[in-house]
Amino acid sequence: MVSKILEVLDVLKQNFNKFVSGEKISKIVGISRVGVYKIINKLISEGFEIKKQKKLGYKLVSYPFLPEEILRQNFNIIKKVYFYKKISSTMDLAKEIISQQKEYDKSLILALEQTEGKGRLQRKWFSPKGGLYFSLIIKPNIPPFEVFMLNFVFSLSVVETLKEYGVNANTKWPNDVLVDNKKICGILIETDTEIDKVNYCIVGVGVNVNIDNQFFKKHKLEATSIYALTNKKVDFTQFFIFLLKKVEYWYEIFEKKEYDKIVNEWKKYSSTIGKIVEIQTLEGKIIGKAIDVSSKGTLIIKTSSKQEIEILSGDCIHLR
């Protein structure tokens, strides 16, 4: 029975977001149409979203993340997957895992919905169903100031993944991903460091995958999603695996400390360089033209008094 369920699922996955008739499924899998019907109902009760329509058959619209599929890829950066349909915040759970377990390195916490999603600078991160929300715990062997480079590793990976889905996104220094100035992904990095070493980093990533545009309008958010841009719902698991492959690729380069390679690639998508920006730093506000990003990831801006300033981190607003 289990193998028949998987076979039906395979047919639905191969026809993702398209109707496939009960008759066709029954022929491929070698079971009766009633058998197909029962399996479809079982899949629905397990969280698979399957549309049923007379004459057309069944259409798989979304399916729960299957942590096994992620583990099956044998990513070097992932040892354990924690999967939740709904959670307060993957960042909170990551901290809980760190406080309770010895082996927390390379743990991935993944959720389909967050009730208390956290953004940078104590902002709220709206996390309805349809978005991808995850935190990855890592222990990179680097001095604390190099953690900043992880912003580039993850935002570049997201931009490259979006490209594969027909979405041309830009990076905004230091860690946003935008499409037409609207946010499609946000990255939050929390660390525990000592003077010369990093105890752990939690990299939290939120990507607006299948969120309806109405949601952004209703909450007056300057944000967008793949679905809003392409009118197509994306297969979550496939998207996530693709993204993790990109992260794995760039993380390896990060481990080799080839930071210039990462930044140079990131710069190709930069929407910040060339803009007049306002940066809110701990020391105050700085306004100037963003002229470059260094291989350390710092932003170089030229002020109206022609002074060049290197900014390590801060909240960046594109003025024009």
What's 81's DSSP letter? E
119 counts as binding ligand BTN under rule CB under 6 A: yes
Nearer to ligand BTN, 57 or 204 (CB): 204
Residues sharing a CB contact under 8 Å with residue 169, sequence separation 6 or more, in sequence order: 158, 159, 162, 163, 177, 178, 179, 184, 185, 269
SS3 176: strand
Task: Number of residues interacting with ligand BTN: please give it, by CB under 6 A.
Answer: 20
Nearer to ligand BTN, 39 or 111 (CB): 111
Nearer to ligand BTN, 134 or 269 (CB): 134
Among the listed residues 58, 82, 104, 125, the single contact to ligand BTN using CB under 6 A = 125
Q: What does the block give as tokens for 89?
A: 């915040």
- CA atoms of 29 and 10, how far apart (whole Å): 10
Nearer to ligand BTN, 151 or 298 (CB): 151
225 counts as binding ligand BTN under rule CB under 6 A: no
Nearer to ligand BTN, 36 or 247 (CB): 247
- CA atoms of 18 and 81, how far apart (whole Å): 30
* Binding letters toward ligand BTN, positions 61-100, x by CB under 6 A: ----------------------------xxx---------
* Binding letters toward ligand BTN, positions 148-177, x by CB under 6 A: ----------------------------x-
* Binding letters toward ligand BTN, positions 176-205, x by CB under 6 A: x---------xxx---------------xx
Crossing angle of the two packed helices 259-268 and 236-255, in degrees rounded to 10: 140
Among the listed residues 117, 174, 288, 297, the single contact to ligand BTN using CB under 6 A = 117
Least separation, in Å, of the C-beta of 185 and ligand BTN?
8
Instruction: Give residue number: closest CB to ligand BTN.
Output: 186
Q: Are 58 and 66 in contact (CB under 8 A)?
A: no
Among the listed residues 18, 42, 123, 257, the single contact to ligand BTN using CB under 6 A = 123
Which residue, 276, 99, 64, 273, is CA-closest to 202?
99
Among the listed residues 26, 62, 135, 224, the single contact to ligand BTN using CB under 6 A = 135
- CA atoms of 105 and 79, how far apart (whole Å): 8
DSSP 185-254: EEEEEEEEE-SS-EEEEEEEEEEE-S--HHHHHHTT-SB--HHHHHS----HHHHHHHHHHHHHHHHHHH
Q: Are 246 and 273 in contact (CB under 8 A)?
A: no
314 counts as binding ligand BTN under rule CB under 6 A: no
Nearer to ligand BTN, 123 or 163 (CB): 123
118 counts as binding ligand BTN under rule CB under 6 A: yes
Residues sharing a CB contact under 8 Å with residue 108, sequence separation 6 or more, in sequence order: 70, 78, 80, 81, 82, 134, 135, 136, 137
- CA atoms of 19 and 32, how far apart (whole Å): 18
Give me the residues that bind ligand BTN (CB under 6 A), please. 89-91, 114, 117-120, 123, 125, 133-135, 176, 186-188, 204-206
